[in-house]
Amino acid sequence: MGDHVSKLKLLSATDGDMEERYFLNRCPDWAPTGVATSDPEADGGSREPLDADGEVSAAFQKKVHNKMTDLLEQMEEGLKTADPHDCSTYTGWTGIALLYLQLHRVSGEASHLQRALDYVKRSLRNLNGRKVTFLCGDAGPLAVGAVVYQRLNHTEDSKQCITKLLLLQPAVVGPDSELPDELLYGRVGYLYALLYVNKELGAGTVDEGPISQVVSAILESGQKLSAGQKKAERCPLLYEWHGKQYVGAAHGLAGIFYMLLQPGARVPSDVLAGVVRPSVDYLRHKRFRSGNYPSSLSNESDRLVHWCHGAPGVVPMLLMAYQLFKEEKYLKEAVDCGEVIWQRGLLRKGYGICHGTAGNGYAFLSLYRTTREKKYLYRACKFAEWCLDYGTHGCRIPDRPYSLFEGMAGAIHYLSEMAMPGDSRFPAFEL
């Protein structure tokens, strides 16, 4: 995972041509141009796989269900040769546990919860004691462990996981902590774990104190860099990772701001208005004319359309800002992101959620959740339909082909959302 960025650099260096990295989207759109697209009664637009009521059709649900069964079998077989020591959510066993937790949520099948337990136990036996985030460190297995144990009524085991999770906190807020702030390896990736536990197990499971200390450390770090770069006026919060001011959800500002905007993070309203909001607005002004976002503040090429780098990972931040600040401009720009993703979102990099088609599909689900417009449900289904032909498009095969963030588990997670699309969440990110 340390190679997340270097690998992307390698890819962008070798395949400069847009055609190399994206498939031309040949799916018919919800309605032809010029017709009111939000009107399900409008003539001429395609409907399938939605039924006459604008819900995901029973036939499509069945297709998705069958494919998921098939992919789960392939995944289980493939995992037999996966790295036994990778416990991360991003590419390892905790990610698989999280998938089964999701399958249990949508199906209610007890066997899925048992599987989640088996996989998370594997991770809990192998905590590495170095990294602290939900995606790449010990906070992931501990938070997921706490939830799985609680669902099984193993209350003591669940509490133990939370105690251990909180033992990581001093390393996150300590003054000499060298930790970055981004989601994959930094403070926000630890903050997510605390917010996730409270969301799943009830507010107050983790006290306000430890949460607000982490939030303060994140704010302080951002203000320090911004002041150092003389940007305190324009962008009061600035962050970098490996010397670059990344924009996207995985390493950048959009991921950090999204987490600070969470009601569960309890950022005081004057700080939200005076510090977080102007920073969000600064970032908004960095978008390309196409509506897409650069991978970093210094990058001017409009190329990557991924959850990790580009518009898809910025959508949740814009929608959250819209909900909090009640201004249409945030929603409008999220909608613009949706257009970019629809045009360019079928990736040759595969079907995963970090930089694949399923991850881009999640942006439509987020837009659907907020707007309830059938167009976005339709588009989400079309990207799911693409994932039903898993492996047949000649996409690049990821290094960890069965994992949650790079591979098959992520695509299955996305497909499972079709059962309750109004209630979807991008795993390990959206709350």
Interface stretch with Zn ion, choices 179-187, 287-295, 304-312, 391-399 (CB under 5 A): 304-312
Residue 353 Cβ, how far from Zn ion at the closest point, in Å? 9
Half-sphere exposure for 49 (CA within 13 Å, toward CB): 22
Residue 144 Cβ, how far from Zn ion at the closest point, in Å? 21
Q: Counting contacts by CB under 5 A, is residue 314 touching Zn ion?
A: no
Residue 57 DSSP code: P
Q: Counting contacts by CB under 5 A, is residue 303 touching Zn ion?
A: no
User: DSSP letter string over 213-250?
Assistant: HHHHHHHHHHHHHHHHTT-TTT-S----BTTB-B-STT
Q: Give whichever of 50 and 308 is closer to Zn ion, judged by the CB atom.
A: 308
Residue 91 Cβ, how far from Zn ion at the closest point, in Å? 11
Residue 429 Cβ, how far from Zn ion at the closest point, in Å? 12
- What tokens were used for 366? 């987020």
Q: Give whichever of 378 and 405 is closer to Zn ion, judged by the CB atom.
A: 405
Q: Give whichever of 40 and 410 is closer to Zn ion, judged by the CB atom.
A: 410
Is there a binding annotation on residue 354? yes
Name, in order, each residue with C-beta under 8 angstroms of 418's C-beta and a sequence gap of 6 or more.
56, 60, 61, 64, 380, 381, 384
Give the torsion through C-alpha atoms of 4, 25, 330, 203, to 10 deg: -60
Question: Where in 159-198 is the site for Zn ion (CB under 5 A)?
Answer: none
The angle subtended at Cα 313 by Cα 89 and Cα 36, nearest 5°, is 135
Residue 329 Cβ, how far from Zn ion at the closest point, in Å? 28
Q: Give CA–CA dist 91/355, Å, rounded.
A: 13
Q: Give whichever of 5 and 165 is closer to Zn ion, judged by the CB atom.
A: 5
Binding pattern for the stretch 316-355 against Zn ion, x by CB under 5 A and - elsewhere: --------------------------------------xx
Q: Give whichever of 310 and 421 is closer to Zn ion, judged by the CB atom.
A: 310
Query: Please, what sign has the CA dihedral across residues 8, 1, 99, 424?
Result: negative
244, with CB counted inside 10 A (0-12, 13-18, 19+), is: middle
Is there a binding annotation on residue 308? yes
Residue 272 DSSP code: I
Residue 354 Cβ, how far from Zn ion at the closest point, in Å? 3
Q: Give whichever of 92 and 421 is closer to Zn ion, judged by the CB atom.
A: 92
Report CA 101 to chain centroid distance, whole Å: 16
Residue 94 Cβ, how far from Zn ion at the closest point, in Å? 18
Q: Give CA–CA dist 66/338, Å, rounded.
A: 28
Q: Give whichever of 101 and 308 is closer to Zn ion, judged by the CB atom.
A: 308
Question: Where in 355-374 is the site for Zn ion (CB under 5 A)?
Answer: 355
Choosing from 308, 358, 365, 384, the residue that interacts with Zn ion (CB under 5 A) is: 308
Residue 25 Cβ, how far from Zn ion at the closest point, in Å? 20
**Whole-number Cα distances in Å, 58 to 51, 62, 66, 214:** 8, 6, 12, 45
**Closest-approach residue to Zn ion (CB):** 308
Q: Position of tokens 């337990």?
A: 117
Q: Counting contacts by CB under 5 A, is residue 379 touching Zn ion?
A: no
Q: Give whichever of 9 and 85 is closer to Zn ion, judged by the CB atom.
A: 9
Residue 64 Cβ, how far from Zn ion at the closest point, in Å? 24
Coil, strand or helix at 346: coil
- What tokens were used for 186? 């930094």
Within 10 angstroms of residue 285's Cβ, the number of other Cβ atoms is 8
Within 10 angstroms of residue 98's Cβ, the number of other Cβ atoms is 27
Number of residues in contact with Zn ion, rule: CB under 5 A? Answer: 3
Q: Position of tokens 């079709």?
A: 418
Query: Which residues sit in the known binding site for Zn(2+)?
Result: 308, 354-355
Which residues contact Zn ion by CB under 5 A? Answer: 308, 354-355
Query: Which residues sit in the known binding site?
Result: 308, 354-355
